[in-house]
Amino acid sequence: MSGHSKWATTKRHKAAIDAKKGKIFSAISKDLTMAAKDGGGDPSTNARLRMLIQKAKAANMPADNVDRAIKKGTGELPGVVYEQLLYEGYGPGGIGIIVEVTTDNKNRAAGEVRSTFTKNGGNLAAPGALQFNFTKLGQFVVDAEKSTEEAIMDAVLDAGADDIRNEGDCFEILCPVQAFSAVGEALEKAGIETEDSELAWIPNSTTEVTDPELARKIMKLIDSLEDLEDVQNVYSNSDFDGALLD
């Protein structure tokens, strides 16, 4: 499958934004709640939940917050009812963008996402307009200083991984959605620590952006979308490797 590392072009940028805005605890809490709702509150039998708990610990999220988020998902504590929604749109230069939302107010989320696209030179598209350009896959990121490509291959190929990409400072592991839990468990068993793991929309092909000004406009739109309260993840088919940004 062709395409760039979504981690390399977006994820680190998003992590910096989340840390600055203090949004990361809220985003992880929603993910924990939905994972517990879908697969139960026992991390020993819910691989997705187990990996999210690791992510929460890495972010120094208080244990009480983690516990409350899980219990809201299992119904042990009262909590808001979240909906998971997907929005598709075009950014400056016709770049394709997929936005994942977890919200307790669908109308608010839709209005904010639409407005953000419009204010930043883009437009919201009809459902399904862009999904064919992306494939939803399990994605794991391993720091290149903490493992080797050979060790990762030995651990995950039999578990169902499709692709291992050397991105220089990290390795990106991709797998079908149905193999996500098995690959995560294989990495755990091999003692390979992941920097991140998620079910991500990976572009089937990318659009190279070489104009720095266009790249800035696209990143401003992505920044603005990621800053919205209800937005969990933003994916695009843009490749900024050719744009020299400050």
For residue 147 the two structure tokens come to: 């493992």
What's the rounded mean pLDDT across residues 16-29?
71
pLDDT recorded at residue 144? 92
pLDDT in tens, 156-168: 999 999 999 998 8
The percentage of residues in the chain with a pLDDT greater than 70, rounded to a whole number, is: 89
Q: Which pLDDT band holds residue 16 (cuts at 50, 70, 90)?
A: low
Fold of 133-203: Alpha-Beta Plaits (3.30.70)
Domain ranges within the chain, ordered by starting residue: 6-74, 83-132+206-239, 133-203
Per-residue confidence (pLDDT) for residue 220, from 0 to 100: 95
CATH topology of domain 83-132+206-239: Alpha-Beta Plaits (3.30.70)
The pLDDT tens digits for 111-137 are: 999 999 999 999 999 999 999 999 999
pLDDT at 7: 47
Tell me which of 4-8, 51-55, 126-130 is least confident.
Answer: 4-8
Q: Report the b/e string of 19-49 with b at 16+ CB within 10 A.
A: eeeebbbbbbbbbbbbbbbebebebeebbbb
Which residue's entry shows tokens 């997929």? 98
Q: Determine the pLDDT at residue 54.
A: 87
Using pLDDT thresholds of 50, 70 and 90, give the confidence band for residue 15: low
Q: Please tell me if the domain spanning 6-74 has the same topology as the one spanning 133-203.
A: no
Give the pLDDT band of residue 11 (cuts 50, 70, 90): low
Q: Which pLDDT tens digit goes with each residue over 155-214? A: 999 999 999 999 888 999 999 999 998 999 999 999 999 988 889 999 999 999 999 999
| pTM, two decimal places | 0.82
Q: Which CATH superfamily is domain 6-74 in?
A: Integrase, N-terminal zinc-binding domain (1.10.10.200)
